[in-house]
Amino acid sequence: MEILRSDNITMQFGGLTAVKDFNLTLNKGEIVALIGPNGAGKTTAFNMITGVYKPTNGKIYYKGSEITHMAPYQITKLGIARTFQNIRLFKDLSVLENVLIANHLHIKSNVFEALLRLPKYKNEDRKMMRKSLELLEIVGLADEKHEKSSSLPYGKQRRLEIARALATSPELLLLDEPAAGMNPTESEDLTKFIRQIRDDFNLTIFMIEHHMQVVMGISERIYVFDYGITIAHGSPKEIQNNQRVIEAYLGVDENA
Amino acid sequence: MKKRDYYLTAISLILLIGFIFYADNNMDAYMVRILNLCAIYTILGLSMNLINGFTGLFSLGHAGFMSVGAYVTAILTLSVNAKVQNFFLKPIAAPLSNVVWPFFPALLLGGALTALVGFLIGAPALRLKGDYLAIATLGFAEIIRVIFTNTQTITNGALGLKGIPAYTNLWWSFGIAIFTIVTMILLINSSYGRAFKAIREDEIAAESMGIDLFKHKVLSFTIGAFFAGIGGGLLGNLLGTIDPLMFRFTLTFNILLIIVLGGIGSITGTVISAFVVTIAQEALRFLDQSINLGFVVIPGVAGMRMVVFSILLMLVVLFYRHGLMGTNEFSWDKFLNVISMKKPLLKGGRK
Ligand SMILES: Nc1ncnc2c1ncn2[C@@H]1O[C@H](COP(=O)(O)OP(=O)(O)OP(=O)(O)O)[C@@H](O)[C@H]1O
Ligand SMILES: [Mg+2]
């Protein structure tokens, strides 16, 4: 079953076309990767899907309804969550607060009910707390819950970002280079972890990744970008043997 | 909260009430006035800190908000006679001439109307970011002042209002200051308060976590405006006279000074700083007068105090940006540790 589809989405920055005619289909429960050399437009594609950028052209549908012109917070409310390539935690706040904040979008109590600590709010607050602690447990950050998030080592910050994204109760999770800066063992753990959360939370995962080991090991399908153009799309095997992909990665001059 | 902390808080409150009782009966009018100002500046500082410190919005419209609260409360509480005396150029507009309200409802309406003004200003202005927001709010505050200068039959224009009943006493000012502190603590530690802080930390991440930036900014702005209006109302009915010139940018600057010195994003810091700055401004009054050093007489320069405070502000911003408290808050644990000079507990209360 299709969960997300984009029709020819294009993003231009002045004269630069960062992404051109990207047609993406994600099916429920899949793990799909987006790869490509630096500056190929991968993060830009994420930013279009999550509403950070409005595509210059094309349309995006989530579960059948159009989300192209929605604000990022609306898109997140519908069930698409993300992490950032260059980690964007709430730096001065604690690990726990970071995750709690991501629960706020579903709050039903208004500000007065919250101020007066009415039972309705207290109940919601208790649930948020329980859920956040559970998530921290899952990503292995329970012991650091009162630490300032910026004081965590890099790898843990990445996991905190995932926990925070999960706290919004997404159905589709976009991960922008989750294995960046990790050594082979850590990437191995991450691969397992991503599969595990996909199963435990019934997620569909769309990820940008440079570590080929991770990409090939985990994805069911792969899209390849080069200069904003989708040069290939297929199973890991097909991609590995695709001539254009090899050229793009090895930087072979096409005219040679 | 631990049981011990409940007791300690209750005891402190009783001590404070005892102190107010004592001050109310025994201190001279000058001292009482300074204490009133301390409490009022606490309210004003907290309301500005909610907007600027906790939500990270660079707003400079506080004097405008205060003027709305001050005028509404003053006009509603002025006696019929005082109104006739004040409005000698042009009589006050019809329904207002006979309206005389008790202090508390007048204050509440002052706060509510200020909140409404905050909402109306916030709705367009909060689409702007950073410096642009600062400029827009500054402009709005100035517009409010110009409007008040020209609505002769409502505000008495540039003549201002005199003979405002001196309803503000220590019970009102400290009572409302405590109410404001409690409200801020409850707000900041709620899910909404966390959302405000998220916006301050990183707007893009906050929005990606599903937080409606605009809605929450307007919310924070409106609540802040409400308390600024209440503070303005208390101030008007303390001083007894108000006029549009009182609500120039200098007033906003004073409050900004308090929150920066106290620590942007700290309730405790704002409270301490409101008292320190208010008292210091009185104590340093001699700077505005001529100083005789025996061998040389430095002639008085009006505004010298402000120069000193401005330099202080610059030094804090340059070298000690966290102010007194940073984003830390008071807790009995920390307090008891400090006074017993024990080693501080590790985070999470572990030894
Ligand atoms: N807001 C923007 N304004 C102008 N140009 C932009 C903007 N965002 C991205 N670009 C440009 O679009 C192109 C694609 O950038 P993007 O960040 O999407 O690449 P990427 O595939 O994620 O690369 P990397 O692997 O380095 O993260 C780059 O040339 C970049 O400079
Ligand atoms: Mg990128």
Residues B162-183: tens digit of each pLDDT: 999 999 999 999 999 999 999 9
Q: pLDDT, tens digit, for every residue of A178-220? A: 998 888 888 899 999 999 999 999 999 999 999 888 999 999 9
- Identify the pLDDT of residue A256: 44
Residue whose entry in the numeric block shows the structure tokens 């208790």: A126
Q: How confident is the model at residue B350 (pLDDT cuts 50, 70, 90)?
A: very low
Q: pLDDT, tens digit, for every residue of B218-247? A: 999 999 999 999 999 999 999 999 999 999
Q: Show Cβ contacts of residue A209 under 8 Å, excluding neighbours closer than 6 positions.
A: A33, A35, A175, A177, A178, A179, A215
C-beta of residue B190 within 8 angstroms of C-beta of residue A121: yes
Pocket, ligand 1, Cβ cutoff 6 A: A 13, 16, 18, 36, 38-44, 85
Q: Give mean pLDDT, residues B98-110.
A: 95
Residues of A in contact with B202 (CB under 8 A): 88-91
Q: Show Cβ contacts of residue B27 under 8 Å, excluding neighbours closer than 6 positions.
A: B35
Give the chain A residue nearest B326 (alpha carbons).
A92
Output DSSP code: residue B91.
P
Query: Model ipTM?
Result: 0.93
pLDDT tops 70 at residue B346: no
Which residue ranges make up each domain of chain B?
A: 29-252
Give the C-alpha separation, A98 to B194, whole Å.
Answer: 9
Query: In whole numbers, what is the pLDDT of chain B averaged over residues?
Result: 91
Q: What percent of chain B has pLDDT over 70?
A: 97
* Residue A105 forms part of a structural domain: no
Q: How confident is the model at residue B348 (pLDDT cuts 50, 70, 90)?
A: very low
- Name the domain count of chain A: 1
* Residue A121 forms part of a structural domain: no
- Identify the pLDDT of residue B1: 65
Domain that residue A226 falls in: 2-79+170-250
pLDDT tops 90 at residue B205: yes
Mark residue A92 as left, alpha or beta (left: phi above 0; alpha: psi -120 to 50; beta: remaining): alpha
Question: Phi, psi at residue B156, to the nearest 5°?
Answer: 70, 20
Q: Whose CA is nearest to atom 11 of ligand 1?
A: A18
- Identify the pLDDT of residue B314: 84
- Identify the pLDDT of residue A251: 66
Q: Count other Cβ atoms within 10 Å, centred on residue A116.
A: 14
B27-41, B49-63, B121-135, B311-325: segment of lowest average pLDDT: B311-325
Give the C-alpha separation, B322 to B329, whole Å.
Answer: 13
List, as ranges, residues 172-201 from B with C-beta within 8 Å of A.
Answer: 183, 186-187, 190-192, 194-195, 197-198, 201
* Residue A34 forms part of a structural domain: yes
C-beta of residue B195 within 8 angstroms of C-beta of residue A101: yes
| CATH code for position A17 | 3.40.50.300
- Give the nearest ligand 1 atom to A53 CA: 1
pLDDT tops 60 at residue A252: no
Q: Which of A10, A17, A43 to mutate to test the pocket of ligand 1 (most atoms within 8 A of CB)?
A: A43
Give the C-alpha separation, A36 to A239, whole Å.
Answer: 11
pLDDT tops 70 at residue B161: yes
* Residue A20 forms part of a structural domain: yes
Q: Give mean pLDDT, residues B22-47.
A: 95
Q: Give mean pLDDT, residues B151-171.
A: 94
A97/B194 CB distance under 8 A: yes
Q: Taking Cα atoms as reference points, which of B36, B73, B37 lies closest to residue B242?
A: B73
How far does the centroid of ligand 1 lie from the alpha carbon of residue A15, in Å?
A: 13
- Identify the pLDDT of residue B347: 46
Q: How confident is the model at residue B336 (pLDDT cuts 50, 70, 90)?
A: confident
Q: Give mean pLDDT, residues B127-146.
A: 93
pLDDT tops 70 at residue A230: yes
Q: Give mean pLDDT, residues A230-247.
A: 92
pTM beyond 0.95, yes or no: no
- Identify the pLDDT of residue B342: 59
Q: pLDDT, tens digit, for every residue of A137-164? A: 999 999 999 999 999 998 899 999 999 9
- Give the nearest ligand 1 atom to A42 CA: 21
Tokens of A39: 């500056």
Distance between A34 CA and the closest CA of chain B, angstroms: 20
